[in-house]
Structure 1
Amino acid sequence: SLKKGLGRNGLSYIEVFSPCPTQFGRYALKIGDPVKLATWTSEHTVDLKKAGTMTRDELEDKIVVGEYADRERPSLVDRYNELFEKVKRS
C-alpha cells in the first residue's frame, strides 16, 4: 500500500495504476466516458493473490495488481553512517 511504502526507511518503489480518461481511455481504448473506463478498469484488474490461482488464458487481458516484493534493507543513509563510524574508529 502507499502508506506502507511511504512509511518505510530507504527506497520504496510504488507504481500506481490510475487510468486517464482523457488520454488512455479515449485514445488507447476508445472509451471516452470516464464511468465506462472505471468499469473497464474494474473488470480488467486482478489481485496478485487471485492471479496465482488463475490460468494463463484467464489472465490474457488482465492487469495484475498488488505487492510484488517486500524486502527490508538498510537505506543509503544508514549504510553511509555505518561506513562513516567505521572510518572514524580507524
Structure 2
Amino acid sequence: MSRMCDFCGKTYQQGNLVPRGVGNRVTRRTLTRRKANLRSKRLEINGRMVRVTICASCLKRLKKDIKEANLALVQATAQARV
C-alpha cells in the first residue's frame, strides 16, 4: 500500500462527518477518511540511502532517538577520557 508508514503501518482512519442542526445528527452522516501525516524521507539504513514513507509521529520519535544516541555517545567518550 502506497499511503502507509513503513515503520508503524499507519494508514487512514475512517470516521463520520456529522453536521450540526436539529435532526441532522441522525439522518445525514457521511463517511470520511482522515489521512495519516506521511512524509517521504531518505534515511541511511545499513550503510545505504533508502527512500521511506514515514508518518510524522515516527519521524519525530526517530529524531529524538538519534539525538539521545548521540548524547549517550558523547557522554561515553567523555567518561573514557577521564
By the TM > 0.5 criterion, same fold?
no
Identify the structure with the greater strand proportion: 2
TM-score (norm 2): 0.31
Identify the structure with the greater helix proportion: 1
TM-score (norm 1): 0.30
